[in-house]
A and B are shown apart, each in its own frame.
Chain A
Amino acid sequence: MKAGVTLPEVAGWRPVPILCLAALLLIGLLLSVMVGSIPVAPREAVRALLSGGANDPVVAVVRQIRLPRAILAGMVGAALALAGLGFQAISRNPLADPTVLGVSSGASFGVVIAMLLGLAGPFGNPAVVTLFAFAGALLAAVSVYAIAQVDGRLPITTLLLSGVIVGLFFTSCVMLITALLAANELQGVVFWLMGNLAPTGGRTLAVLALVLLIGAGVLARQAARLNLLALGEEQALQLGVEAERVKRSVFVAASLVTGAAISAAGSIGFVGLIVPHAARLLLGPDNRRLIPAAALLGAAFLILADLVARIVMAPAELPVGVITSFCGAPLFVYLLRSRRGGGSL
């Protein structure tokens, strides 16, 4: 029984790395309220966050401008990371991600439709816009999987190709609708399309938080079953998993959180590719560890990426999507070439 000690070491809950990720998120949050045109010392920042103060300009900057932005970035990052993780688990492939699959473009299409109908903007209801984005994301995801399926299987080549095609199609639809919009609305659309983490008000944050909780809950409930899907659908069935039902619920949940993230902050690419990959390197592929890890790491990653986007060209701001794509595209190429841990279907 000397080997008996190896089992718990290999498989099981690992609190330490998860706590480290939570600490990273807190550090990211603190840094992001400290840095800006008015620098704030760490102690000042903590004080402003915890106690506040009526007429203090530092408190106003930290609590009313920087903190909402960091919270938005964190939730969007967590949502996109969880969406990527979900799509990867059900397609059994580490390359699946809302951007690569064209699901983000579908969600953008939903948002510009809402804009065209005058439902978006400062007087619109963020829940309605999120619903449009969700519908667009779901439409794109269903199309991609329907096109990519060959004899009930999802070969990686057809999955990526159909993702590209569906993504291009919905991007064209977005451009078409942008052309129909009035000139005064245009600037807002373009700004949003590039990926924009400027605070958009408490209601947007509330809707995003609610959707994120629902999506994370669905994924967490299915975590063990998602692990078994890695054996293939037939073996998952033979082990007692209702594979089709699991895939469908995760599919909808991933589309839902993608829609919420895109409608709140526009198109921010590759977060769903980068974060699950990094989390897998840290904690292995067990989804019961991976889901909380990806949510924490996704939040920390986008907060830090936004921080970089704000300071590299200060006082001008870079769209945060530029940072994430610059990280994500090379990683995608690396994963595609090495096929480590994924393999083809």
Chain B
Amino acid sequence: MNAVDVQGVTFRYRNGQGVDDVTFQAAPGELLGIVGPNSAGKSTLLRLLSKVVAPERGRILIGGRDLSTLPRTALAQRVAVVPQEFHVAFPFRVAEVVLMGRYPHAGGSAWESDRDRAVAQAALEATGIPDLAARRMDELSGGERQLVSIARALAQEASILLLDEPTAHLDLRHQGIVLEILLRHHREGQGTTILVSHDLNLAAEHCDRLLLLARGRIRVLGRPEEVITEEHLVPAYGCPVTVERHPVSGRPRVQGILNQRGKLGTVSHHSPDAREAGRS
């Protein structure tokens, strides 16, 4: 049985953005990357998978159960989300926030059990922040906040983890820390992970398969070397790119390049030398 089964799902916001007739599956234990340009529908897809919005057409199965009939707490026992940004109103402490991840298991207004506390403690240790347990959220740096967000998601003990640009707002060091924790959790936990990312190279390097979205539709779904090609990326992003191979992993690597008049073609700035290197 597929961990995630999306069947012909359409959803549109009032401003017209959304996803259109999207169908794909994720197998248990798979690391699936969702990539694509801005407003391609990547985050919408995550909001659909976590039942924040409901499909207008089509259906979504999580572990074989239809989302529309799955109670929200039961869903939260199966699916955990690490959001793009993590802000907590009121000066909650780190341990309290991580324990909130136990709500789908503890429920109601009862206090968390000893087992809930043990799981929260393990999540703090898995993310390397047991020392932050008593700190207030409003005293933490952005990187530390993201680690708390991940610990909270791990405390849910869900078999499916949805990551929405988990490293987008982090400095280089925290990007590495966060990525390492998430990849280790994915390998050891044998769960399914769906990673939404703007960073094509990061997604190509680590994901088993990639799903390229553009304007709400799936352009291509396949192994990174099948997806990260000029043939697929140029029409999706509407700008010139070059693709090369990573010298060590052999995975594809992509670079945006300058157009003829020397203006910035796309995501990042590169010298003409890099462009030459990319072609060779």
A residues near B (Cβ < 8 Å) are 1, 3-4, 6-13, 92-94, 220-225, 227-228, 230-232, 234-235, 237-242, 280, 284-286, 288, 340-343, 345
Contacts and interface: CB of A to CB of B under 8 A. Distances in A.
A224 B108 contact: yes
B47 interface: yes
A240 B91 contact: no
A160 to B, nearest CB: 15
Given A6-B134, A11-B99, A284 B91 contact: yes
A227 B100 contact: yes
B138 A10 contact: no
Given A10-B133, A234-B52, A239 B103 contact: yes
Nearest to B130: A3
A6 B133 contact: yes
Interface residues of B, number: 51
A12 B110 CA distance: 10
B90 A241 contact: no
Interface stretch (B24-32, B69-77, B267-275): B69-77
Interface in B83-127: 83, 86-97, 99-101, 103-104, 106-112, 117, 120-121, 124-125
Given A221-B109, A239-B76, A341-B90, A286 B133 contact: no
8 contacts: A4-B121, A225-B109, A238-B52, A239-B101, A240-B103, A286-B92, A341-B138, A343-B138
Contacts of A94: 90
A344 B99 CA distance: 24
A238 B51 CA distance: 7
A3 B131 contact: yes
B88 A237 contact: no
B156 interface: yes
B81 interface: yes
B103 A241 contact: yes
Which 3 residue pairs of A and B lie closest in terms of their CB atoms, listed nearest first? A240-B73, A240-B76, A3-B130
Interface of B: 47, 50-52, 71-77, 79-81, 83, 86-97, 99-101, 103-104, 106-112, 117, 120-121, 124-125, 130-131, 133-134, 136, 138, 156
B96 A10 contact: yes
A11 B95 contact: yes
A284 B96 contact: yes
Contacts of A230: 88-90, 92
Contacts of A288: 109, 111
Given A3-B124, A280-B90, A10 B95 contact: yes
Contact of A228 (B51, B83, B103, B125): B103
A235 B138 contact: no
Nearest to B71: A240
A242 to B, nearest CB: 6
A3 B96 contact: no
Given A222-B109, A224-B103, A286-B96, A341 B91 contact: yes
Contacts of B133: 3, 6-7, 10
Contacts of B120: 7
Nearest to A285: B90
A242 B71 CA distance: 10
Contact of B104 (A1, A6, A240): A240
A285 B137 CA distance: 11
Contacts of B76: 238-240
Contacts of A340: 91, 138
Contact of B111 (A10, A13, A220, A285): A13
A109 B257 CA distance: 66
Contacts of A241: 72, 103
A235 B50 CA distance: 9
A124 to B, nearest CB: 37
Contacts of A235: 81, 83
Contacts of B156: 239
B110 A284 contact: no
B13 to A, nearest CB: 11
B148 to A, nearest CB: 11
B100 A232 contact: no
A237 B93 contact: no
A106 to B, nearest CB: 25
